């Protein structure tokens, strides 16, 4: 799932069972945690040659992991494939 897909409310509703929260709650949670986990885009580009991972994607991965998901499930769902 890309960041663009995650931002579409209809796509998010398909994942509602996994997140166990509404889209608006997910976005509020992103806003609450964002000051603590901001990514320095310049350093991310220097280290990896790619854009940094967005807060929405980080939270997506965390929620799947905490729900008992495997990294093998998380990587393709978040388009984090090396």
Q: What is the pLDDT of residues 27-81, one digit of tens each?
A: 899 999 998 888 888 888 888 887 888 888 888 888 888 888 888 877 777 777 6
pLDDT at 9: 54
Which of 53, 69, 55, 54 is closest to 19 using CA atoms? Answer: 69
User: Residue 21 phi/psi, 5° resolution?
Assistant: -160, 160
Stated pTM of the model = 0.68
Q: How far, in Å, CA of 61 to CA of 76, rounded? A: 10
pLDDT at 39: 81
Q: How far, in Å, CA of 24 to CA of 30, rounded? A: 10
29's tokens: 């949670």
Enumerate the domain spans of the chain.
3-77
């Amino acid at each position: 799932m890309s960041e663009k897909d995650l931002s579409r409310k209809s796509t998010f509703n398909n994942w509602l069972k996994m997140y166990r929260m509404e889209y608006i709650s997910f976005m509020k949670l992103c806003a609450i945690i964002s000051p603590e986990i901001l990514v320095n885009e310049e350093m991310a580009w220097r280290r990896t040659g790619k854009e940094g991972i967005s807060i929405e994607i980080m939270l997506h991965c965390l929620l799947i992991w905490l729900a008992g998901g495997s990294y093998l499930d998380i990587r393709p769902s978040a388009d984090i494939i090396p």
